[in-house]
């Protein structure tokens, strides 16, 4: 979950699945890559953004596709970003302007809401799947 001031950065996907919908910068780890390094690399690949990771926001499990998603809370040191190789568009959104009906995955919605819950906290437990939503998609 990447922010600058009170705005969240989202990328419109240029690849499948869910091409054309909005997501947070995220992806798969490469061989011999740490989770932190992978988060930084994905932000660079998708949004041409250098980020400062602040906290572990959430760990989501998606049994249907055998995934564990680790989401960090991070900030942009300045509003410097651009369209990356896997994005059609990248933009900062005020909370009320987030394209809720055009989000690519349920975990993006979860991460946005969990970010909102924790944005003013420095010490919190990482969030997980919302109750009853582990098998909804």
CATH code of residue 106: 3.90.79.10
User: Half-sphere exposure (CA, 13 Å, Cβ side) for 11?
Assistant: 27
Q: Quote the number of domains for the chain.
A: 1
Rounded Cα–Cα distance for residues 130 and 80 (Å): 32
CB atoms within 10 A of CB 8: 21
Is 104 inside a domain boundary? yes
Tokens 């947070």 belong to 24
Joined tokens for residue 127:
């969030």
Q: Please indicate, yes or no, whether the overall pTM of this predicted structure exceeds 0.85.
A: yes
Domain span at residue 114 reads 2-118
Instruction: Give domain status of residue 93, yes or no.
Output: yes
Residues of the chain with pLDDT under 70: 134-137
Residue 124 lies in a domain: no
- Per-residue model confidence (pLDDT) at position 127: 98
Determine the pLDDT at residue 132: 77
Whether residue 15 lies inside any domain: the answer is yes
Position 135 in a domain: no
Please answer whether residues 48 and 81 qualify as being in contact, where contact means their C-beta atoms are separated by less than 8 angstroms.
yes
Which residues make beta-bridge pairs with 10? 91
Q: What is the pLDDT of residue 136?
A: 53
Q: Would residue 105 count as lying in a domain? A: yes
100 occurs within a structural domain: yes
pLDDT in tens, 92-111: 999 999 999 999 999 999 99
In a domain, 43, yes or no: yes
User: Which burial class, exposed, middle or buried, applies to 2 when counting CB atoms under 10 A from its CB (0-12, 13-18, 19+)?
Assistant: buried
């Amino acid at each position: 979950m990447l922010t600058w001031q009170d705005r969240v950065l989202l990328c419109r996907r240029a690849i499948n699945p869910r091409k054309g919908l909005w997501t947070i910068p995220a992806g798969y780890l490469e061989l011999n890559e740490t989770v932190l390094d992978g988060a930084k690399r994905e932000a660079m690949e998708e949004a041409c953004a250098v980020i400062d990771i602040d906290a572990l926001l959430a760990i989501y499990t998606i049994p249907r596709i055998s995934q564990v998603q680790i989401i960090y809370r991070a900030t942009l040191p300045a509003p410097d970003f651009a369209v990356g190789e896997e994005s059609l568009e990248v933009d900062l959104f005020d909370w009320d302007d987030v394209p809720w009906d055009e989000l690519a995955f349920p975990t993006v919605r979860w991460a946005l809401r969990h970010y909102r819950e924790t944005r003013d906290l420095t010490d919190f437990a990482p969030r997980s799947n919302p109750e009853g939503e582990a098998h909804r998609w």
